[in-house]
Each structure stands twice: as structure tokens, then as C-alpha cells.
Amino acid sequence: MRKTCKQLHKILKKGKVFDFEAGKDFRAYLNSFSNFPDNGIYYMFEEGEAGHKDKRIVRIGINRQGTLAHRLNTHINGTVRNSIFRKHLFRILGIEKKVFQHIQKEISFCVINDPDNRRKEIEKKSIGEVSNCRACMPSRNWLGLKSETKRIKESGLWNVHHVFGEDRLNNNDLKYIEDNLVVAKTVKKGGGNSLFQ
């Protein structure tokens, strides 16, 4: 078990856990909150998957073009052409509707703001960190084990690039993640009660 990976999971546990239950209205749901970042890193979790005595990270990603909200929306409401995550799922489930339903019901995520434009670096290191951690192995029932992609099955991540890489998180990276973690204290735009309780 890698102590750094355990620390990463411990930090993320403090963050707001979002989900895709809003479905077709997901983009509007994210944009309704004042501190949802324009740019950042997301760490996905999947129902039934555990690591370090908590939810296990199953995918790590960033926004490269457009906003983070737009990127996340392509996963739930996009196609296999603009979401590699959807493509991985589609190759197993075979029908776009089933892909939508799986993401809506089974996937959740935490978000890290990226004020210093470090998301490519943090993404690469995070994938290397988690994929090399024995405590983050998938359960016997994990959907990804049905994938034809060897790196997905062996790593327990819905990622291919940077899997089993040598780049790992250090203490400065963990501090950056912790300092920029989006937490539950989020105020809805335009006033009113917070939707994050």
C-alpha cells in the first residue's frame, strides 16, 4: 500500500462529492454553484469500489478545452466521440442508454480547482500514484474487468494514459490538492440556501 495514495484518498474524503443524478440537466446543476471551478481536476468514484477503507478512485481527468463543467457534461450527455470514458463503457455495455444510466447511477466525483494551471501535471502524477497502489485494486464485480483494454483491467482505472507511470505525487502536490479541494460549503449563485449539505 502506498502511503501517498492513502493520503490522497484521505484528502478527497473532505471534499464535496458530486454525482450525475441531474442527468440531462447536469451542466446547469454544476453551473448553479458559485465556487465550481472553470478549470480543474476531477477524481471519480464508482459504487461498490473501495480503497483505503473508503471510496476507491476509478478515474482521474481534467479539462483541456472548455470549462471543467463542460468536460464533465460530455461524460454524462456526450457521445463516444467526445468522451473516452463513455467509449470505454460503451465497448462493454453496447448501448448509449446503458452508458448514460451507469454514469448517472454509479459514478460520483470530487473536484480540485487549478489556479496555477498544474492540472496536466497533477493528473499524470495522480494516475501514476493510484495505478501503482495495491490497496486500490478493483473488486471482483467491477465493470472494468470486462474491458478488452489490458491497462483498465490491471489498474482498476478507467484510464489508459499514464497508467503504471513512474511519476508520483509528492507532499507539495498533496498540499496543492488539499488547498484547492472544492468542499461542501458552496453558496448557490443568486443567493438562497446552499444545495450542498
In a domain, 186, yes or no: no
Tell me the pLDDT tens digit for each residue of 105-152: 999 999 999 999 999 999 999 999 999 999 999 999 999 999 999 999
Half-sphere exposure at residue 185, Cβ-oriented, CA atoms within 13 angstroms? 2
Q: How many domains does the chain have?
A: 1
- The sheet with strand 54-62 has its strands ordered as 18-19, 107-113, 40-51, 54-62
In a domain, 53, yes or no: yes
pTM over 0.85: yes
Nearest to 109 by CA among 6, 177, 7, 12: 12
Report d(CA 122, CA 124) in Å as an integer: 5
Determine the pLDDT at residue 1: 60
In a domain, 173, yes or no: yes
Determine the pLDDT at residue 35: 82
Low-confidence ranges of the chain (pLDDT < 70): 1, 184-197
In a domain, 44, yes or no: yes
In a domain, 30, yes or no: yes
In a domain, 62, yes or no: yes
- Residue 142 belongs to what domain range? 3-179
- Packed helices 3-12 and 119-131: angle between N→C axes, nearest 10 degrees: 120
Report d(CA 62, CA 122) in Å as an integer: 9
- Helix (H) or strand (E) holding 62, with range, is strand 54-62
Determine the pLDDT at residue 196: 36
